[in-house]
């Protein structure tokens, strides 16, 4: 789960990491008031759940209230990588001597929370990693001890040189680690962490993501969720035991298992089609799950054909067939549906499907090819 | 021969009285797996399917000598169950439960290491040594005894590919589903090493997917350390960045973890990567002929 920068700043403040003053605004007049109240140079920053806001023109420096108003007019409503900007943060633009980077991630290889820090702040850390990997300090934190004082201090000293300043940064690193572990985060980044001319260390931008698997014990984090339209469909699907992600193509697919679902999408693409979605109905599939899944697929206006690919293990093919038959009783559709059932109770499932006239095939490659063919036919003969 | 499990494996089931635990205990017994005990706190004394149930793993180990454990308890309690097994001296723990918080896995990892416990999973279908022992939820009828080692991050894709192997007369030594979580127990390299050292295994099939760099590390290991041929498939070639494709670990983040990078790494290591699952048996045949 992702949160906005303004929410990350709230979490930082709460745990004692120094963050400049800011105001969240939804309208130009709110921005005008905020800039007037702050009464100094401000930054107007688009609040969208996607990176690269600066490059897209979503972050602007404003010397006075007029500047802030004109920045707000440009940024509010703009589109950043498909996300519409509905709110901006008006933040105190502090004077900066130097920019740094500090971030925490879960490292898959060392199986630890890993702290990354760099004197190259303010740019994307991936770029630093590519161009100047030696400029990134990486430290694997022992989960049994947590980040210790001397470890954090050592890293801070490498970045800041001066011990008095380093001690301020040490405190920030430790607070960030505590926040990270306590909130089940999967990334916590301060970029940039800045040094001001009067030797203050401040977080002026923040990013945090959280572990979906841990949201059950993080009610405070869950309350921060602001899903967009696509995510609402995904969350609704999730509540029905389905894992669904909308894509740009027109072949809807329904599969059991995430790996097989990805392989199905890949196969559609391999044969020249475009998958409309990723949809995993999960391990034990009751007929109801199949009905819910078909509802999602057939309600997607872009879907021109559906490919059902089931390899029964725990999932029983006859359950899938029953669900499918029920679904088609409730939902009337002209969209062609190709079915491939294999594995547990496939013969029983295929027998049940005989009453439906749905085309059935025995391999996933045949299913993909037929679904693509039928999706094309539908475009040429819409009244079929 | 085989890796990790065989007919001498004495299996314990944690969460044996739950819906899934109960069902799969029956399936595993039916296959011939030596299920010696179950654990379900508060249910000690119960006999389920001929399997005695205990309150604790330590109690079950003492009474039955169990040396492997399979876990079906809900995700919120699964890390605790893994540690209980580890502290009771179980050597091999297979965690089927799905949805464990990553921090739970990070916290238990050093303790497992200290105790020398091998963990498979979480969020995995388990493993099988055909003809000897099924420790997991895999559909037994598609497997066949033979010489191919098999490692996969995915469940149903495993079934799809194993079925193709069996139909093409490639039986398997051991098939391991390592699970789709970002922080998990044994990974590709750990298992490749075991297959390399297993005299029965003549070749290995690796099924990877997007996210992380375990496949790249596997490729490097194969190039440097393996003498046996390896064939691979990578799922998620069309997956968009930033979206978690079902598995918590299957996500392309910051442009890394893409299928293209993994395929390139395998190709550099001399490992052919199938464009679709159908191609795997043929690639395997070619590799084995060219030896």
CB contact under 8 A, A258 and B180: yes
Residue with tokens 């633009």: A93
Q: How many CA atoms lie within 13 A of B276 on its CB side?
A: 16
Cross-strand bridge partners of residue A206: A190
Residue A383 is predicted with a pLDDT of 41
Q: Of A182, A258, A266, which to mutate for an interface test with B (greatest number of B Cβ within 10 Å)?
A: A258
First to last CA, chain A: 43
> In chain B, which residue ranges form alpha helices assigned H by DSSP?
19-31, 57-64, 75-87, 102-115, 156-167, 188-197, 214-225, 259-268, 280-289
Closest listed residue to residue A243, CA positions, set A200, A208, A282: A282
∠ Cα B83 B86 B88 (to 5°): 110
CB contact under 8 A, A214 and B101: yes
* Catalytic status, residue B247: yes
Instruction: From chain A, pick out residues whose CB is under 8 angstroms from the CB of B275.
Output: 270
What predicted TM-score, i.e. pTM, was given to this entire model?
0.91
Residue B186 is predicted with a pLDDT of 96
Residue A288 is predicted with a pLDDT of 86
Name the minimum distance, in Å, from the CA of B201 to any CA of chain A. Answer: 25
Query: Cis before residue B122, ω within 30 degrees of 0?
Result: yes
Cross-strand bridge partners of residue A278: A245
* Catalytic status, residue A101: yes
CB contact under 8 A, A278 and B250: no
Residue B65 is predicted with a pLDDT of 96
Residue B201 is predicted with a pLDDT of 97
DSSP 3-state of B45 = coil
CB contact under 8 A, A108 and B156: no
Name the minimum distance, in Å, from the CA of B219 to any CA of chain A. Answer: 15
Residue A206 CA to its chain's centroid (Å)? 16
Residue A378 is predicted with a pLDDT of 55
Contact between residue B154 and residue B206 where contact means Cβ atoms under 8 Å apart: no
CB contact under 8 A, B142 and A144: no
Residue A384 is predicted with a pLDDT of 36
CB contact under 8 A, B160 and A364: yes
Name the minimum distance, in Å, from the CA of A213 to any CA of chain B. Answer: 5
Query: Cis before residue A271, ω within 30 degrees of 0?
Result: no
Measured between CB atoms, does A144 come within 8 Å of chain B? yes
Instruction: From chain B, pick out residues whose CB is under 8 angstroms from the CB of A269.
Output: 237-238
Interface of A with B in 38-77 (CB under 8 A): none
Instruction: From chain A, pick out residues whose CB is under 8 angstroms from the CB of B99.
Output: 213
Q: Which of A106, A262, A344 sits opposite B182 (nearest CB)?
A: A106
The enclosing H or E element of A312 equals strand A305-312
∠ Cα A311 A315 A316 (to 5°): 90
Interface of A with B in 221-280 (CB under 8 A): 243, 245, 247, 255-263, 265-270, 275, 278, 280
Give mean pLDDT in consecutive 10-residue pieces for chain A, a chain of 384 residues.
95 97 96 93 93 89 94 94 92 95 94 95 82 90 97 97 96 98 97 96 95 95 88 86 91 94 95 94 78 91 94 85 90 90 89 90 93 77 40
> One of A99, A189, A234, A244 is an active-site residue; which one?
A189
Look up the ipTM and state it. Answer: 0.91
Q: Which residues of chain B have pLDDT under 70?
A: 1, 254-255
Q: Of B127, B150, B210, B238, which to mutate for an interface test with A (greatest number of A Cβ within 10 Å)?
A: B238
């Amino acid at each position: 789960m992702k949160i906005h920068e303004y929410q990350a700043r709230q979490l930082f403040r709460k745990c004692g990491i120094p963050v400049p003053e800011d105001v969240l605004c939804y309208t130009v007049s709110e921005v005008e008031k905020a800039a007037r109240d702050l009464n100094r140079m401000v930054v107007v920053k688009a609040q969208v759940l996607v990176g690269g806001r600066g490059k897209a023109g979503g972050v602007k420096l404003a010397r006075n209230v007029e500047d802030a108003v004109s920045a707000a007019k440009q940024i509010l409503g703009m589109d950043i990588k498909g996300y519409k900007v509905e709110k901006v943060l008006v933040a105190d633009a502090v004077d900066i001597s130097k920019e740094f980077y500090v971030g925490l991630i879960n490292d898959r290889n060392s199986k630890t929370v890993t702290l990354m820090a760099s004197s190259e702040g303010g740019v994307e850390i991936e770029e630093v990693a590519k161009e100047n990997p030696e400029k990134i300090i990486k430290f694997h934190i022992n989960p049994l001890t947590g980040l210790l004082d001397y470890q954090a201090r050592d890293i801070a000293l490498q970045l800041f040189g001066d011990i008095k300043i380093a001690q301020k940064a040490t405190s920030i690193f430790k607070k960030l680690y505590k926040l990270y572990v306590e909130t089940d985060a999967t990334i916590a980044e301060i970029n940039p962490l800045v040094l001001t001319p009067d030797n203050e260390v401040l977080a002026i931008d923040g990013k945090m993501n959280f572990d979906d698997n841990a949201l059950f014990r993080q009610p405070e984090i869950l309350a921060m969720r602001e899903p967009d339209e696509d995510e609402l469909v995904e969350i609704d699907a999730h509540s029905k035991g389905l894992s669904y992600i909308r894509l740009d193509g027109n072949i809807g697919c329904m599969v059991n298992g995430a790996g097989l679902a990805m392989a199905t999408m890949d196969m559609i693409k391999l044969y020249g089609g475009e998958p409309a979605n990723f949809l995993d109905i999960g391990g034990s599939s009751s007929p109801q799950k199949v009905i819910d899944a078909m509802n999602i697929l057939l309600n997607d206006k872009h879907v021109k054909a559906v490919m059902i690919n089931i390899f029964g293990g725990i999932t029983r093919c006859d359950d899938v067939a029953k669900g499918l038959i029920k679904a088609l009783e409730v939902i009337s559709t002209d969209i062609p549906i190709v079915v491939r059932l294999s594995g547990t109770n496939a013969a029983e499932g295929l027998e049940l499907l005989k009453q439906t006239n749905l085309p059935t095939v025995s391999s996933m490659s045949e299913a993909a090819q037929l679904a693509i063919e039928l999706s094309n036919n539908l475009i040429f003969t819409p009244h079929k | 021969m085989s890796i990790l499990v065989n007919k001498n494996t004495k299996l314990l089931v944690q969460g044996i009285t739950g819906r899934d635990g109960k069902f799969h205990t029956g399936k595993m017994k039916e296959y011939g797996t030596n299920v010696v005990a179950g654990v379900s706190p508060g249910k000690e004394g119960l006999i389920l399917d001929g399997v005695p149930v205990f309150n604790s793993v330590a109690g079950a180990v003492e009474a039955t000598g169990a040396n492997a454990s399979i876990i079906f308890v809900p995700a919120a309690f699964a890390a605790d169950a893994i540690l209980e097994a580890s502290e009771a001296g179980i050597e091999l723990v297979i965690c089927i439960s799905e949805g464990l918080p990553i921090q739970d896995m990070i916290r238990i990892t050093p303790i497992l290491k200290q105790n020398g416990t091998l963990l498979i999973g979480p969020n995995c279908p388990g493993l099988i040594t055909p003809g000897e022992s099924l420790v997991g939820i895999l559909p037994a009828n598609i497997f066949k005894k033979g010489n191919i080692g098999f490692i996969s991050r995915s469940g149903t894709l495993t079934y799809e590919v194993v079925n193709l192997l069996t139909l093409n007369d490639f039986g398997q030594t051991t098939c391991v589903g390592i699970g789709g979580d970002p922080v998990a127990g044994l990974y590709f390299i750990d298992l490749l090493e075991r297959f390399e050292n297993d005299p029965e295994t003549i070749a290995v099939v690796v099924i990877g997917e997007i996210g992380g760099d375990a496949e790249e590390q596997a490729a490097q290991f194969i190039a440097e350390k393996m003498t046996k041929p390896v064939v691979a498939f990578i799922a998620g070639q069309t997956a968009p960045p930033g979206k978690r494709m079902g598995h918590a670990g299957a996500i392309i983040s910051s442009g890394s973890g893409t299928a293209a990078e993994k395929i390139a790494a395998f190709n550099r290591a001399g490992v052919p990567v199938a464009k679709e699952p159908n191609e795997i048996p043929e690639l395997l045949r070619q590799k084995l002929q060219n030896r």
